[in-house]
Amino acid sequence: MEICSIALDPIEKKPLARFYPGSRILSVGGVGCTLHCPWCQNHEIALPEDPSAVPTRTITPDELAEAAASYIPYGNIGVAYTYNEPLLRWRQVLECAKAVRAQEAPDLVGPDHLVNVLVTNGMVGEGPLEELLEWIDAWNIDLKAFTQEGYDVCGGKLDVVKRTIRRAAACSHVEVTTLVIPGYNDDMDGFERAAAWLADVDPDLTWHLSRFHPAYRWMHLPRTPLDTLYRAQEIARRHLNHVVLGNVPLA
């Protein structure tokens, strides 16, 4: 696997609020993405002007698994494929996930084996998705908007993302994240419809509503008003049991 970033992160940073909270996870990322979101928060590695200029190194699946095991004394529980879009190279993720699952971890606290976490935009074909499902223990999946028009902005397909969420939730722990962007996906009717659909998948599914900060090509937009997030959270809680706000000041 070609990686440009590796760090031992709190599990909550993925973000996962209800998957072994308080633990840490070895997080790796590469270069590139399958979408082109003009608000990309990680555009330096996900959408670089010259991908070849981003320094990378190769790590084998066994080396990654051994590294994950070596960080168990520091609270690590596995590997997260994150930062850029990991499914751009889904076969590499699959091979690494198999090695991580097979790695001996006698001192692991929490799960009964090293876990694999996938942080993704959910744009994946049905065949690759089915191959990955057996090996991924937890997912955080972006739901960028709840209309196809919203997905047209970044080159995605809402139906594909919805399929990924539903299939993954049937056999793994799934949390969903929406970056709430003024004038793009911040209408309250949209939150209502999205929350109702997510509750149909699983009312215990966690939905992260995160505050937008100007980035990449959408520097002209303002930060998401906090009132927008609070109202969206109130609406979503009519349907879902766990709605978490992100990128907001602590009370």
Q: Residue 249 has what pLDDT? A: 82
Tell me, what's the pLDDT at 251? 54
Instruction: Compute CA distances 183 → 69, 154, 210, 236, whole Å.
Output: 45, 15, 15, 19
37 annotated as ligand-binding: yes
Distances, alpha carbon 216 to alpha carbons 101, 145, 183, 219, in Å: 36, 18, 16, 6
Enumerate domains of the chain plus CATH numbers. Answer: 2-246 (3.20.20.70)
**pLDDT averages per 10-residue partition of the chain, 251 residues:** 96 98 98 97 94 95 98 98 97 98 95 97 98 98 98 98 98 98 97 98 98 97 97 98 92 54
Instruction: Give Cα 105 to chain centroid, integer Å.
Output: 25
DSSP 93-127: HHHHHHHHHHS--TT--SSSS-EEEEEE-----HH
The answer, yes or no, to whether the previous bond of 15 is cis (omega within 30 of 0) is yes
pLDDT value at position 101? 97
Decide: 119 and 86 in contact? Cβ < 8 Å: yes
The Cα–Cα gap between 220 and 191 comes to 24
171 is in an annotated binding site: no
The SS3 call for residue 158 is helix
CB 160 within 8 A of CB 151: no
- Say whether 33 counts as a known binding-site residue: yes
